[in-house]
Structure 1
Amino acid sequence: MNRKRILVAPLDWGLGHATRCIPLIRELQKQNAEVIIGSNGKPLKILQQEFPEMESCIINGYGITYRRSGSFALAIIPQIPKLINSGFAEHKKLKQLVKDLKLNGVISDNRFGLFNNDVPCVFMTHQVGIIMPPVFKWAEKFIYKLNYRIMNKYDFCWVPDYEGTENLSGILSHKYLMPLQTTFIGPLSRFKKLEELEMKNDLLVILSGPEPQRTVLEEKLLHQLRDINLQTLIVRGTPGNETELKTPSHIKSVSHLNADELNRAMIQSKYVVSRSGYSTIMDLAATGKKAVLIPTPGQTEQEYLGEYFDKKNIFYSASQTSFTLEKALGKIENYTGLQLKESNNILGLTVKKFLDKC
């Protein structure tokens, strides 16, 4: 029997969409699907490094630019025409890819133009409701309705979270009505708990997200870390860039680690310092690590998740502007961290249902 050829295409905003596709790709392989990776830039590099033998193709990103300060949402608004054009362009490209690559199905992680009438298509997202800054709160329902219409163009909608009140995404996935074809597939993490590994680091710093904010946080943390004698590993989130940081002997840096290497590094570190992106939250829950969360300034989703988990006394969170490492380390032991619940193989069953339709 011919193997089903499935395109997996993560959005190129940060690295989280790509990293959470890793366990999904592994499950597809487990069920004998032939996966083709479709993305661009750093997300494509990460998945190519993780699956070096896997077929891949370039699907252009949305070309969104970011500010050094101010609201992410406000920065996006004038770029909406660019977003719309990118959606139309990738929709047109997919029509050709289906023919050229002989695709049997498509899984889009938050790329809203990758639906097609000839093959079953999945839209995967944890943001059914988009949180707008205060000045645009009035637009949230309109944005939700637009998002709902996009999701309804797909045969399946997958949410990487738990259904019900005990969930990780809060109002992002649980405030509004979902399309009928929605399945909560459980959190997606490339990590797992590893037993009997010796502790190597006091701190693991995981940098990620768009420039220039990635560099701004890197510089701020380096400045503070130089004066605190803690054994620290910094994962810079710059795959393909081997430029070395000049650091004191108690600080080591690497441009990128693959999933297994980062899994081990996380287990072998007492605490984690990272952004509060949703994929990072899922990885922290999978390893049970205590963490300090620093939301990307102006990204309302990350600001919400940081506040959400801080109020629940799960993860300490502080803004990039007010953050001090000394204060964070003084408080982190008062927070519980997260533990994943048993999933009952929801992901495996959902993938099987999808492949049966392909």
Structure 2
Amino acid sequence: MADAASPTIAVAAIAEEALSAADLDRRLRGAREPFVVRGLAGDWPLVAAGREGPAAAARYLSARARDRKFTVSIGQPGGGERLFYDSAMGLNFRVAQGPLGPILDGIVANADKPDAPAVYLGSVDMAAYFDGLAEANRVPLGERAPLESIWIGGRTRVAAHNDVPDNLAVCAVGRRRFTLFPPDQFANLYLGPLEHTPAGRPVSMVDFRAPDFAAHPRFRDALRHARAVELEPGDALFIPSLWWHHVEALAPFNVLVNYWWRDAPAFLGKPEDALNHAILAIRDLPADDRATWRTLFDHYVFDNDGVAEHLPEEARGVLAPLTPETAGQIRAFLLRSLSR
């Protein structure tokens, strides 16, 4: 399969598996590689509405939307499909709010206009913003309690980024092309700022449609590890935790439903918070001090087997496997220290 970004470089296809909805829970346990299940959600009412056309899909969604304002990202007229930074590293889109019906009507009305702005509703909580939508269009995920989100828009491109939770993405309406990279390819993707991002996660600065290999030479190495797939309505893609994914919505009207979950206790902190704290506290120290702290992190965090065996069990505190109580102690300590 040739990647749209670089026709000269072959990109491997993501593995496809023939699974029923009943088999999915078992297959997801411990899964660390992406895979595709064709037609997993083919019987959804939302998929059926989309097969009738964009207007029917928009009516189906609008009829179930709650009476509240939806947040929508709107690009510049004629500004293309890419929701990204502008030349000054501001954002090339604005954020507005309004009822869902008129927003969707606008997407449908502008679908065939070449200068129409990119319009995108991202990560909308289905339970909070719709009545009955999640219940009628759901993939069974066993005992997992995922966040169920919906993504709606016209033709858009979202830069490569990653997410901490595992992710099952279901194409409900339109078509989506995903290009995935393993977690260790982050340096070859030339990430942008950590604190100023289009949607909360750092993104690749490479334009996949027109990569500048002079500015981003290591992107050629990333493409050698890339995997890609195009999803049709009803198809599902499993994206493991921390895998980078570039997402293109290819049809005039596109809807994706995704499920996020973590196979980790809810009381654990967010790893990205630890990264930001380490930048604040360690990165700009003298080199010798950083080397010492690297050793301490290895000892207490990454290679921590047996670090507290010399202590009585009742005295090990946070050096023992965390519990909700000891996790709360760390959180309270951090809150006090960061507020000084």
TM-score normalised by structure 1 residue count = 0.27
| Structure with a larger share of its residues in strand | 2
Select the structure of larger CA radius of gyration: 2
Q: Which has more helix, going by share of residues? A: 1
Q: TM-score normalized by structure 2?
A: 0.28
Greater relative CO (CA pairs within 8 A, separation 6+): 2
